[in-house]
Structure 1
Amino acid sequence: MCKGLSSLPSSCLERAKGMRVKLSHLAEIHHKQKVQDGKMLQDLETLLSNKIGLQAFRGFLRSEFSEENLEFWLACEDYRVSSSDLQKIKASSIYSQFIHPDAPLEVNLDAETREALLSVTDSPCADTFDEAQQRIYSLMAKDSFPRFLRSHHCMDAIKAF
């Protein structure tokens, strides 16, 4: 017969209570971050907007040798909020770092998207990388993110809250 919780050492009970508090706090934060402007956000978007989650996801992608996807997405976010005089420099850097066929951190884009980017790198605007960024985001959401949720990187991030 089960003797119930009273047979467990008090240190185990205290740890369980602590984990319950952390998990409920994480669920509360997650819920608050999901609701924005009356619409639900994608879970990956929520993760990317959280410093601890972003670091955990970066560590996971590094372990899978696909960190370039996140780095490209972040570079595009930085590019989007840059002043127009910096955009040409940053566009060139993004192209040479992530888009060019021999780029050190080449991301997996279809030829059509790659060619479209090449044609506008001389005269970039705020939305130059939007389509490519969305393709990489979709790739991470459908491929990397589900594996991340099952990884120890995710569990470590939950414990950090």
Structure 2
Amino acid sequence: DGLAAFRTFLKSEFSEENVEFWLACEDFKKTKSSAKIASKAQKIYSDFIQADAPKEINIDFHTKNHISQNISEPTLSCFDDAQRLIYSLMAKDSFPRFLRSEEYKELVKKQQNGNQKRWLPFS
């Protein structure tokens, strides 16, 4: 699976928090219950955004500050700016390196006999 190979590659580069954050945001945006919106937003904030978070992502002060100021009343779009920044970082930096990696070469070998489905949004 392509996503698993990309995650393994990011882990080897100590940057798996980027794809984990992006996936958490995608899941968050599908949330229907307002109670769950608040709890999921707080979990994303404590895992990825707040200072010294266990999986702290590298985003600019303005974006981090904006999220921090609005986390008490989160909306489904409250992480959109940060998610766009992380997506851009992965698309311009991590993903091109992944395409040159052994993980990718192995994935291509496996895929050559089967279907060629798209497995990442920027592939």
Task: Give the structure-2-normalised TM-score.
Answer: 0.86
1:13 is aligned to: none
Q: Gaps spanning 5+ residues in structure 2: where?
A: 112-123
Q: CA deviation at 1:136?
A: 0.4
Q: Which consecutive aligned stretches of 4+ in structure 1 deviate over 6 angstroms post-superposition? A: none
Amino acid at match of 2:11: R
- Matched residues in 1 for 2:97 and 2:21: separation? 20
SS at match of 1:62: helix
Query: Percent identity at matched positions?
Result: 54
The corresponding residue for 2:9 is 60
The residue that corresponds to 2:77 in the other structure is 127
Deviation of residue 127 (structure 1)?
0.8
Which amino acid in structure 2 is aligned with residue 154 of structure 1?
Y
How many angstroms apart in 2 are the aligned matches of 1:65 and 1:116? Answer: 26
TM-score of the superposed pair, with normalisation by structure 1: 0.67
The correspondence of residues 15-26 of structure 1 with structure 2, limited to 5 A, is: none
Between Structure 1 and Structure 2, how many residues are aligned?
Answer: 110
Where structure 1 has 5 or more consecutive residues not aligned to the other structure, the ranges are 1-51
- Which structure has more relative contact order (CA 8 Å, sep 6+)? It is 2
* Counterpart AA for 2:95: F
User: What residue in structure 2 maps to residue 73 of structure 1?
Assistant: 22
The root-mean-square deviation of aligned C-alpha atoms, in Å, is 0.8
